[in-house]
Structure 1
Amino acid sequence: MQFLVIAKDGKDEDAMERRLATRPAHFEHARLQKKKGILIMGGALLDEHDQMIGSSLFVEIESEDALMLWLAEDPYTKANVWQSFEYHPMKIANLD
């Protein structure tokens, strides 16, 4: 199954500091997940001041339950950077 995931960061005063401190571990994890074929694409969500406030992810994984477990293992989730999730099953268009 393919999913679009919107992961929102916390809004407390330490949110950006947590994100930046965890970013190297998150990127290392993301690269491994991309090599495994689970993470298709991801990137930061920005506010009107170009500040990172969350992430968007395109993921291919077996099920919704597997997605929840997968998200729980991300360094951003473990470090409480991502504090809420919205996800939708989807099908990425083949434009080749």
Structure 2
Amino acid sequence: MLHVVIAHDGTAPGTFERRMKIRPDHMAQGEKMMDAGQFLFGGAIIDGAGKLAGGVLIVDFDSREEIDEWLQEEPYILHKVWDRVEVHPFLVPPQFLSLLPKYAEVSV
């Protein structure tokens, strides 16, 4: 089942520096998740000053419990980069099903 994960960076001093230090671990985990078919797409949220402020990810897990297990191991959470994380079920609209045909059976 697809979910959108919206993660917001904290605002405490040093958060950006932690983000950059931990980024290789975060990216390596993303690669591993891509290989497992769990991570479809993602990118950074940019604030009004042009700085990294969080991320948006489209992930595929069988249950919310599996998402929570992943989040417990996510480097940006472990190292207090992401301060707040939202998780929402996600449906692929018809105009994008050609890009993601696997999800046609669950679209509305």
Same fold, judged at TM 0.5 (above): yes
Give the unaligned 5+ runs of structure 1.
none
Task: Report 1:5-24 matches (<5 A).
Answer: 5-24=5-24
Q: CA RMSD in A?
A: 1.0
Matching residue's letter, 2:46: L
| Whole-angstrom distance in 1 between the partners of 2:45 and 2:92 | 19
Task: Report 1:1-96 matches (<5 A).
Answer: 1-93=1-93, 94-96=97-99
| Whole-angstrom distance in 2 between the partners of 1:12 and 1:18 | 11
The structure with more radius of gyration: 2
More strand by share: 1
| Whole-angstrom distance in 2 between the partners of 1:4 and 1:80 | 20
TM-score by length of 1: 0.94
| Whole-angstrom distance in 1 between the partners of 2:17 and 2:88 | 29
Q: How many residues align?
A: 96
| Whole-angstrom distance in 2 between the partners of 1:70 and 1:25 | 14
**Which has the bigger relative contact order, CA under 8 A and spacing at least 6?**
1
| Percent of paired sites with the same residue | 32
The superposition leaves residues 27-73 of structure 1 with CA deviations (integer Å, 9 ceiling, x where unpaired) of 11111111110011111100011100101000000111111111111
Matching residue's letter, 2:20: L
Secondary structure of the residue aligned to 1:29 is helix
TM-score by length of 2: 0.84
Deviation at 1:95, TM superposition (A): 2.6
| Whole-angstrom distance in 2 between the partners of 1:40 and 1:7 | 16
Give the unaligned 5+ runs of structure 2.
100-108
